[in-house]
Amino acid sequence: MTRASFGERAALSLLRRIDPERAHGLALHALKAGLAPAPGPLTSPRLATELAGLSLPNPVGLAAGFDKNAEALGPLSRAGFGFIEVGAATPRPQPGNPRPRLFRLREDRAAINRFGFNNEGMEAIAARLEKRPQNAVIGLNLGANKDSTDRAADFATVLRRCGPSLDFATVNVSSPNTEKLRDLQGKDALAALLDGVLAARDGLDHRVAVFLKIAPDLDAEALKDVAEVARSARIDGVIATNTTLSREGLASRHASEAGGLSGQPLFVRSTQVLAQLSRHLDGALPLIGVGGVGSGEEAYAKIRAGASAVQLYTALVYRGLSLGRRISEELDGLLLRDGFGSVAEAVGTGRDAWL
């Protein structure tokens, strides 16, 4: 079983003493300098996963937000993840919201961020994606500029520019940190937005899988609407979920900070939303489970609730970059224990427990 090395544990201890956003920047610099685990993605007949036409060595992916500007594609492709999502990218560069805008909630194994789609813009990101490693599955989270007069069009613009270098793209209408962005999750607005994105996808010279990322704060009726739109559109899957505005049950002194909450407290709600979507979609589209994944058991729970793959990010802050490979190892053992020959065989087998 892969364990965090002494060096990784020491680095984590040091980074936790530093302002969270500065610590994140230092972690990216360390990655680019080669000072990070690089065992490559674990795979096995049980872990190998087909997701919306993508062949993944394992179903454990890195969520968007860790590498916003696609700066560390090479090192991340060797860190053990089955797939990598970078971004979010917007058409024009934007600084995001004022600092401080990232907070560790150590007692809760969580984080709150209100970044506001800070990134270097699609031109800089596209240039890096053009030099991407070809032996990895890489996607981009699509975003909209805060001051855009047509946010729906921004998503298609970013896909047209960056799509030639992507395996998948995620339509992110669920960030709580851009005012009124979540309004695009409404049934009619979402259908129109997806039509524009898919038209942009059709103009590319290869097929890019398009996923929709939704919020965990949707009510039952809104979830039904999302499922209906997802079924009728030509998208390839749904990512459930983004961060939450809920603050229920938190112990940290930072609990009242504005922004999206991620990490362990999100696990139950995000898994419930995942299970409900799985029931509504009934196998029509694959799901990717995100929110509170920090162990093989939690990844396995997402899969049994209806996910074909999972993503993580916040847990890396507390357990290190090698966690991705450790989760794959644990998941492989759990599949073997329960007699599943593949991830696909386990998908949805425990869904009713979350409904």
Per-residue b/e over 158-183, b at no fewer than 16 CB within 10 Å? Answer: bbbbbbebbbbbbbbbbbbbbeebbe
Least confidently predicted of 142-151, 172-181, 220-229, 329-338: 172-181
DSSP codes joined into one string, 110-140 = EEEE---S-B--HHHHHHHHTT--TTS-EEE
Choose among 288, 298, 291, 292: nearest CA to 327. Answer: 298
| Whether residue 200 has pLDDT greater than 90 | yes
Query: Band of the pLDDT at 205, cuts 50, 70, 90?
Result: very high
Q: Is 175 a residue of the active site?
A: yes
Chain centroid to Cα 201, Å, comes to 20
Let me know: does 64 contact 354? Beta carbons within 8 Å: no
CA 140 to CA 77: how far, in whole Å? Answer: 14
Q: Which CATH entry fits the domain spanning 6-354: 3.20.20.140, 1.25.40.10, 3.20.20.70, 3.50.50.60?
A: 3.20.20.70
* Domain range annotation of the chain: 6-354
Q: What is the pLDDT of residue 179?
A: 67
| Whether residue 1 has pLDDT greater than 70 | no
CA 341 to CA 323: how far, in whole Å? Answer: 23
Q: What is the pLDDT of residues 233-243, one digit of tens each?
A: 999 999 999 99
Average pLDDT estimate for 248-260:
97
Least confidently predicted of 34-48, 56-70, 259-273: 34-48
The mean of the pLDDT values for the chain is 94
What percent of the chain lies above the pLDDT cut of 70? 98
Let me know: does 61 contact 311? Beta carbons within 8 Å: yes
Average pLDDT estimate for 192-214:
96
Residues 6+ apart with CB under 8 A from 98: none
Q: How many helices (H) and strands (E) does the chain have?
A: 12, 13
Count CA atoms closer than 13 A to 97's CA, side-chain side: 16
Q: Which of 175, 308, 322, 328 is catalytic?
A: 175
Helix axes 122-129, 151-162, angle to 10 degrees: 30
Q: What is the pLDDT of residue 339?
A: 98
Q: What is the pLDDT of residues 139-157, one digit of tens each?
A: 999 999 999 999 989 999 9
